[in-house]
Chains A and B, each alone.
Chain A
Amino acid sequence: MLKKMSNFFISGFIFSLGLNVAQVNNPETIFGFIKLQNPIQMDLLIVFGSAVLFSFLGFKYLTQIHHEAKSTLVNKKFILGSILFGAGWGISGLCPGTAISAIANLDLNLLVFILSMMVGILLTDYFFNKECS
């Protein structure tokens, strides 16, 4: 029990620390890339790309993951969800992980975003009642 709790705590701590060190929890880092204004700021792409690469290497060499089932379902709901998510991310410069990792700023707008996001997640989950992947 205590071991399990500390695993979850450490994982959340490390993940959030990484988002802070890479500064991707600053909306300006997101806007600097997605606005595609000259010069395009590549920070987001570098962080995302290398995090995926490290994750790929980690999963490949540090875990036994190849037996894990992968959900392959791609339906209208999945497509619509991804588009809605991208729109909200593009407007605010915030996604769930980066928003929470910036919470120490105690900004009212940030707290409003997190609360609103929770409402969106819980309402959708309630009405569609799906298992999560």
Chain B
Amino acid sequence: MKDPDDRRREFSAEHLNAFVDEQLAPEEKSRLLLSLNSNEALSREVCELRKVRDLVRLAYPEPSAVGLRDGRHGRRSGFSASALAATLATLTFGMMLGWFLHTRVADIDQVSQDNIPDATAAGRHLAGKPVVTLAATTHNPPRIILHVTESDPKQLAEMMNDLEGLLRHYKAQNQSVRVEVVTNGDGLALLRADVTPYARRIARLQEQYDNLSFVACQNTLDRLTKEKGITARLLPGVVIIDSGVAQLMRRQNQGWAYIQV
């Protein structure tokens, strides 16, 4: 004797669906009914299908009622009037919903348009706190790339101050932030152990902030080797990526803010 699972497979899914929809020929139907009595898995499956059918009917009372009630004659006209009306109504509803949602989004946008700059203005009186809180509630935690391309000591000094000021600013707001310092070209000097004036300061920042990373460009490293014969040694913890410029693109595509320092 076959085990129940095998017997369940005697009937294909189409078969069962046809049965539930009462579309089976009489002899097929009685064969299935017979199996149903002795096979629990099968009857459970049929039960499930019936439930789905009922749910579908419940959700779409109009069209199925039309389909069931109307005979061959009424069917055509019934379909074009009611179904078309239902389709159009659904479409219209969808559009209204879209329009409504859109307006709401526009409203929210307007609110932030109106409020944040004003809040920025007002906030500047109040040491700026509302600005950042508002921005924090409406946007993801800020992620910022600082792009360093120059090795001019004055610019590097200012960049380091910007970086530390930024990290301190968000820490003071108790807000999470991610900062990535991307260096390429001459900017790589910032992260080269042999030339950077900021080895200790960078080490301290890395220790202090785990939301901060320093990135060096492989292309620049290669170019240094090829053109100047320098094998640059990088500071500990520096991440090397294929191309600094590509990284800037990727990050901006991911929604990072870009700031050239």
Do A and B originate from a single complex?
Answer: no
A-side residues, CB < 8 A to B, are none
